[in-house]
Amino acid sequence: MKMTYTLNELASAIGATVIGDGNCKIFDVAAITHAQQGEISFLIDGKYKKYLNTTKASALLLDKQLAKNCPTNALVMSNPKLGLSKLLTLLRPQMILKSGIHVTAVIGKNCKIDSTVYIGPYVVVEDNVAIGSGTVVKAGTNIGFGSQIGEDCFLHSRVTIYSYTVVGNRNIFHSGVIIGGDGFGFMKDERHQWTKIPQVGRVVIGDDVEIGANTTIDRGAIEDTVISNGVKLDNLIMIGHNVCVGEHTVIAGCAGIAGSTTIGRYCMIGAGAGLNGHINICDYTVITGMGMIQKSITTPGVYSSGTGMQPNLEWRKSVVRFRQLNALTKRLNRLERSYNECNGNQRD
C-alpha cells in the first residue's frame, strides 16, 4: 500500500523548501510528461522546462533557478537529483520481506545466520557461512563455503558467491552477479599446452557497494581482489583477478578490467572501457566510454581514446587517411630535410 505525505512532510524529510500549499497531499512520483493529481514530478534537466505549464503534477521538485517559473506547488533544493532519490525511497518503498528460511532452502553445517535474515526458495548456503542481521537472500542464490555476508545486504535472485568471499554491510547484488570465480590464470608447459594456475585468493568487498546484473568479479590468484567501500558497478562488467577498486569509484556497463590493475578512489569509468592489466589509475580519474587504457595514469583528469561517430562514408575516408599517415610522415620528413639542405638550415 502506498503512503501519502503532505508537501511539508516531504520537505522536512529531504531538506527542501516548500513553495505553495504545504498541505498538498502526495502519494507517488512520476515523470513531468505523465504526472497526474496527487503525484510529484521533478525538473532536473533544463530541456524539460517546456513542460512546466502543461504538467498535471500537484507539485514539482526543482532548484531555485527553475522554481522562478514554476506555476504549481514546489519543493526547492540545491540538489534536486539527490532529493529525488530520497523521494523515491519514501514514496516507492521496497517490499519488506519477513525474516525466516524457506522450506526449500538448503543450509549447510556450522552456519551463523542471524534470526532477522530472509532466505528465499531454493537458496543454497554451504557450510561455515555467516550472514549478518537484516540481510535478504532471494530465490536461487548460492553462497559458497566459508563466506561472510554482512548486515542489511540484498542479494537478488540467482546470485552466485564462491567460497571464502567476504562481503561487507549494506551491499546490493543484482541477479546473475558472480563473485569469486577463478581468475584467468594459465601458463604453457613444455609441450606448449595450457596449464591452469590455481586461484587461491579471495574477493573482499567493502560496505555500501552495489553490483549490477551479470557482472563478474574473479577471485585473486594469491592475494585478494578488493572492491572498496562505496563502489558502484553497472551491469555486465568483467573484473579480473587481483584488481583493486578504490573507494567510491563508479564503473559503467560492459567495461573490462584486466588482472592486477589498481583503480584509485572517486574515479569514473565509462561504458565499454577496457583497462590493461598490471597498471595503476590514480584517484579522481575519468575515463570516457569505450576508452582503451594501455598504461598507468598518474595525473587526475579526463581521458579518452578512439574516434567519435561519423557518417559511414566520412569514416571510411578517415580510415584510408589514417592508414596513409606513416607514409605521409616519411614524405614530410624527406621534404623538410631537402628544404633545410637547400636553404642551409638545420632542423630543430
31 grid coordinates = 515523470
Quick check: 43 and 62 in contact, CB under 8 A? yes
The catalytic residue among 34, 174, 241, 248 is 241
Residue 320, number of CB atoms within 10 A of its CB:
9
Determine the Cα–Cα distance for residues 250 and 265; give it in Å rounded to an integer.
9
Determine the Cα–Cα distance for residues 92 and 348; give it in Å rounded to an integer.
67
Whether 241 is catalytic is yes
Determine the Cα–Cα distance for residues 321 and 318; give it in Å rounded to an integer.
5
Q: At a CB cut-off of 8 Å and minimum separation 6, what does 291 contact? A: 269, 270, 273, 274, 303, 304, 305, 306
Quick check: 40 and 34 in contact, CB under 8 A? no
Q: Just list the catalytic residues.
A: 241
